Amino acid sequence: MNIVGIIPARMASSRFPGKPLKKICSIPMVGHVYFRSKMCKMLNEVYVATCDKEIEGYITSIGGKAIMTANSHERASDRVVEAMIKIEKENRERVDIVVMVQGDEPMIYPYMIEEAVKPMYDDENILVTNLMGEIKTTEEFEDPNEVKVVVDKYNNALYFSREPIPSRKKGAKIVPMFKQICIIPFRRDFLLNFNALDPTPLEIIESVDMMRVLENGYKVKMVLTDARTYSVDTPEDLAFVDSLMKDDVLIKKYNQNE
- Give the tens place of pLDDT for each residue, 203-253: 999 999 999 999 999 999 999 999 999 999 899 999 999 999 998 989 988
List, for residues 102-129, the tens digit of each pLDDT value.
Answer: 999 999 999 999 999 999 999 999 999 9
9 φ/ψ angles, rounded to the nearest 5 degrees: -150, 135
**H-assigned helices in the chain:** 29-38, 53-61, 76-91, 110-122, 138-141, 188-196, 201-206, 210-215, 235-244, 251-254
Helical axes 29-38 vs 110-122, angle rounded to 10° = 50
- What domains does the chain contain, in order, with CATH numbers? 3-253 (3.90.550.10)
Give which of 121, 189, 132 is closest to 159, Cα–Cα.
132
Distance in angstroms (rounded) separating the CA atoms of residues 79 and 87: 12
pLDDT category of residue 256 using cuts at 50, 70 and 90: low
pTM: 0.93
Percent of the chain with pLDDT over 90: 85
Quickly list DSSP for 217-243: T---EEEE---------SHHHHHHHHH
The reply to whether omega before 166 is within 30° of 0 (cis) is yes
